[in-house]
Amino acid sequence: MATRSPLTTESPAGDAFYTPPVPLPDGSPGDLIRARPLDNAAAAVPGGENWLVLHRSEGADGSPVATSGVIALPDRTAHPVPAGGYPVISWAHGTVGVANRCAPSRDRGDTGASPMNAYPLTLLGHFLERGWAVAMTDYEALGTGTADRLHPYLCGRSEAMGVLDIVTAARRLFSGEVGERFAVVGHSQGGQAALFAAHHAPGRVEGLVGAAAIAPANHLLGLVRGGATLDQVNTGFAFTPLFLAGAIGGDPTIDPEQVLSPRAFQELWPHVPHRSRAGLSRPDSWGGIRGTEQFRSGYPGPPNAHQAKFDRQVEAMNPDLPITVRSASPRPPTTNASAPTPHRCRAPTHWSRN
């Protein structure tokens, strides 16, 4: 399929693409740093023109960051560019872990996250068949992370910036072809991200017409604290270090050594930057530790100072948010949005304007 992006600057080959320039180029959220045709078949939305992008966004701490993702356009022969440009679906993916190689755009089908990354591609291909463009963020520091900067898992504002800013990147990469109307769709981690994105959209990215949060992650602190009392192993304890990575993203003063037990910190915490969520669930990792052995002594009773900060960050991951959607004119198919309407979303929830 012929590509017609106006971006002509050369981009590094291979995984070097994901290493941003230092310092980042000046600009605003959504500005493209680099782009190239996607050469990873495992990550491509079927039937579309897929581009790998690195763009400016905003991190959990509010600082400028480079975030990666994929932008896919429909087949222009089957779906000529409509008046006003293609509407966009911004897809927010589910939990894969925090290891760079598990990022959806970077996963080549050989990681423990590959099934999770592959399952939505059929759905996303159907969006292209409807004549909609698709934007898929990897999220902050997933694909682009470093040893001292892990993906801030379930840090809602950080996820929202990735979900929203890649829409701006799509409009700038395909100026005149990608339009002003967009919707957000996400599952699991992405369901939670979709709610945060809808909350933060006004004033950042205009044109939101709906959000669908499928099985959004929610009310997690009770699960963490309850799991800490179980005197048995459980594959679900793989989420404990992911929650901790996200908590540190929200509050870098949290010391993981003071949150986790000596065994969990010394033997298992080092797995986090290298393994998928599925890999963390294995018996030789977090799937082989008892719930009562995950945290420093006393938790979930009176927590120490670092555990208390961890708890506050996990509580903040709950998507209890007001959301306002403004209708776009002309309206996309099936929407019934009209005047701006605020909704308060209390997970678990499925919310949309369709």
Mapped onto helix, strand or coil, the DSSP state of residue 64 is strand
Global pTM exceeds 0.85? yes
| Per-residue b or e along 228-247, where b marks 16 or more CB atoms closer than 10 Å to that residue's CB | beeeeebbebbbbbbbbbbb
DSSP string for residues in 299-350:
TTSS--HHHHHHHHHHHHTS--EEEEE---SSPPTT----S-EEEEE-SS--
pLDDT of residue 326: 58
Instruction: Give the CA distances from residue 23 to residues 8, 33, 45, 56, 64, in Å, rounded to whole numbers and listed in that order.
Output: 21, 11, 32, 12, 10
The alpha carbon of residue 80 and the mean position of all alpha carbons in its chain are separated, in whole angstroms, by 30
pLDDT of residue 10: 75
Which residue's entry shows tokens 């990735």?
Answer: 162
Give pLDDT tens digits along the chain (354 positions): 434 444 545 789 999 999 999 999 999 999 999 999 999 999 999 999 999 999 999 999 999 999 999 999 999 999 999 999 999 999 999 999 999 999 999 999 999 999 999 999 999 999 999 999 999 999 999 999 999 999 999 999 999 999 999 999 999 999 999 999 999 999 999 999 999 999 999 999 999 999 999 999 999 999 999 999 999 999 999 999 999 999 999 999 999 999 999 999 999 999 999 999 999 999 999 999 999 999 999 999 999 999 999 999 999 999 988 877 655 444 443 333 333 333 333 333 322 222
Tokens read off for 190: 């992405």
| Per-residue b or e along 166-189, where b marks 16 or more CB atoms closer than 10 Å to that residue's CB | bbbbbbbbbeebbbbbbbbbbbbb
178 backbone dihedrals φ, ψ, rounded to 5°: -100, 130
pLDDT of residue 2: 39
| Per-residue b or e along 1-39, where b marks 16 or more CB atoms closer than 10 Å to that residue's CB | eeeebebeeeeeeeeebbebeeeeeeeebbbbbbbbebe
